[in-house]
Amino acid sequence: MADVAIVGGGPAGLSAALFTAKNGLSTIVFDADGTWMHKAHLFNYLGIGSVDGSAFMATARQQVDDFGADRKQGEEVTGVETSNDGFSIATDDGEYEADYLILATGANRDLAEDLDCAFTDEGVVDVDVSMETSVEDAYATGAMGRTEEWQAVISAGDGAAAALDILSKEKGEHYHDFDVPADAEETFGAMVDDGE
């Protein structure tokens, strides 16, 4: 039983995983590796001058692995449903349970349909500002909740919003994941990249 199950390991899913794993929630990520990022080269991701999409994904994967997320690369989710206390997630390799579910499957919205999430008139998953769907504790992030605003930085922001909402629910108060230079030194040691 995981605290958080994430389906999709593109910018949306891995951004969510980074926040939940970093803040102590057991996090499992399933990814079939069909991310559009493998076709992209980013010039428009704030703070990054220019990076190949697959190189961006390699860094993102390492980052979530380092914070302890259990990344099931290549494991496709075949079904999701609500169970007594949360969600059941089925793959060809097994069944998993989680308290929270974050869908981050790009423009493929099939799992949200399986879960009976409400959709908008435009045919995307209907979410609130924290990316929560009409099904409590189920979130839909990134391209699946957007008609055409398909940008990596938007997907990453959506994933972060979902994760912070879950962390706030778990902690019983609004939660911020703010780090300061001393935290960086403690986490990464003396050789901290200060961006200069």
Ligand X SMILES: Cc1cc2nc3c(=O)[nH]c(=O)nc-3n(C[C@H](O)[C@H](O)[C@H](O)COP(=O)(O)OP(=O)(O)OC[C@H]3O[C@@H](n4cnc5c(N)ncnc54)[C@H](O)[C@@H]3O)c2cc1C
Choose, by CB under 6 A, the member of 4, 5, 6, 13 that binds ligand X: 13
Binding flag, residue 103, ligand X (CB under 6 A):
no
Determine the size of the site formed for ligand X (CB under 6 A): 34
Choose, by CB under 6 A, the member of 17, 105, 127, 167 that binds ligand X: 105
3-state SS, 55-116, equals HHHHHHHHHHHHCCCEEEECCCEEEEEEECCEEEEEECCEEEEEEEEEECCCCCCHHHHHCC
Interface with ligand X by CB under 6 A: which range of 104-112, 115-123, 174-182, 188-196? 104-112
| Rounded CA separation 84/105 (Å) | 24
CB of 191 to ligand X, least distance (A): 30
Closer by beta carbon to ligand X, 103 or else 166: 103
Instruction: Show the tokens assigned to 120.
Output: 């908008």
Choose, by CB under 6 A, the member of 2, 5, 6, 12 that binds ligand X: 12
Binding flag, residue 127, ligand X (CB under 6 A):
no
Binding flag, residue 37, ligand X (CB under 6 A):
yes
Binding flag, residue 145, ligand X (CB under 6 A):
no
Choose, by CB under 6 A, the member of 32, 64, 125, 167 that binds ligand X: 32
Binding flag, residue 31, ligand X (CB under 6 A):
yes
| Rounded CA separation 190/98 (Å) | 37
**Which phi and psi angles does 95 have, rounded to 5°?**
-115, 140
Helix (H, G, I), strand (E, B) or coil at 23: coil
Q: CA separation (Å) from 108 to 27, 34, 97, 104, 125?
A: 22, 11, 22, 9, 10
* Count of Cβ atoms closer than 10 Å to residue 54 Cβ: 13
CB of 192 to ligand X, least distance (A): 27
CB of 68 to ligand X, least distance (A): 20
Q: Which residues bind ligand X (CB under 6 A)?
A: 7-13, 30-37, 39-40, 42, 44-45, 76-77, 104-106, 108, 111, 142-143, 150-153, 155
